[in-house]
């Protein structure tokens, strides 16, 4: 029904579509400011900062899911795989594509000798939370996400 492959530059237009679909689902479509050009440079340039898998529907070779990940370093744990996004297009959810993607990323974390993997899930996303609980994932409370946008950093540093 589905097969997985390592993401290629030619997959990026569909990857960006799925990211936009996820943002719409998460009620934040306006927050996607990434571009194909930036994704090409940052994923396939001289110093790639992310990698991804695509899930392809065998019947028509359409990309119906993605798992985007990168590596981070924890001073407490060492090298960790960070799952940035796992997305399966709405019409294909519940058919095993997410399981294939998630388990492939878990295997990749072991292949790369990571001390584990981590990701975030919105506290209202019950289907995703239930999916992760099936794997025995620890869902931590008490951490707040913090970020600064590039334009904010520029403003702060160039007073």
| Residue position matching structure tokens 């025995």 | 136
The pLDDT of residue 129:
93
Q: CA-to-CA distance for 131 and 109, rounded, in angstroms?
A: 19
What pLDDT is recorded for position 142? 84
Has this prediction a pTM greater than 0.85? yes
Residue 108 has a pLDDT of 98
* Residues 75, 64: Cα–Cα separation, whole Å: 36
Name the domain count of the chain.
1
* CATH code: domain of residue 42: 3.40.630.30
Which residue blocks in 6-96 are alpha helix, DSSP H?
12-25, 36-44
Q: Where are the alpha helices (DSSP H) in 53-125?
A: 97-111
Question: What secondary structure letter does DSSP report for 80?
Answer: E
* Beta-carbon count within 10 A of 120 CB: 14
Inter-helix orientation angle 12-25/36-44, to 10°: 120
- Hey, which residues are catalytic here? 132
Determine the pLDDT at residue 126.
93
Range of the domain at 24: 2-157
Q: What was the pLDDT predicted at 145?
A: 84
Q: List the Cα angle 94/65/13 in 5-degree steps.
A: 150
Q: Identify any residues that bridge with 66 across adjacent strands, giving them in sequence order.
A: 54, 87
pLDDT at 141: 86
Please give the chain's pLDDT, 159 residues, in tens: 999 999 999 999 999 999 999 999 999 999 999 999 999 999 999 999 999 999 999 999 999 999 999 999 999 999 999 999 999 999 999 999 999 999 999 999 999 999 999 999 999 999 999 999 999 999 998 887 898 998 999 999 987
| CA separation for the pair 107, 71 (Å, rounded) | 14
């Amino acid at each position: 029904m589905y097969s997985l492959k390592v993401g290629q530059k030619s997959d990026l237009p569909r990857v960006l579509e799925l990211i936009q679909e996820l943002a719409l689902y998460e009620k934040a479509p306006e927050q996607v400011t990434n571009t194909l050009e930036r994704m090409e440079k940052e994923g396939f340039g001289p110093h790639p900062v992310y990698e991804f898998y695509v899930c392809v529907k065998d019947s028509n070779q359409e990309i119906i899911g993605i798992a985007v990940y990168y590596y981070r370093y924890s001073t407490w744990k060492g090298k960790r795989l960070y799952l940035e996004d796992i997305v399966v297009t709405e019409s294909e959810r519940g058919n095993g594509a997410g399981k294939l993607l998630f388990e492939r990323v878990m295997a990749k974390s072991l292949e790369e000798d990571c001390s584990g993997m981590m990701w975030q899930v919105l506290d209202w996303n019950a289907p995703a939370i239930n999916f992760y609980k099936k794997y025995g994932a620890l869902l931590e409370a008490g951490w707040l996400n913090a970020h600064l946008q590039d334009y904010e950093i520029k403003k702060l540093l160039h007073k």
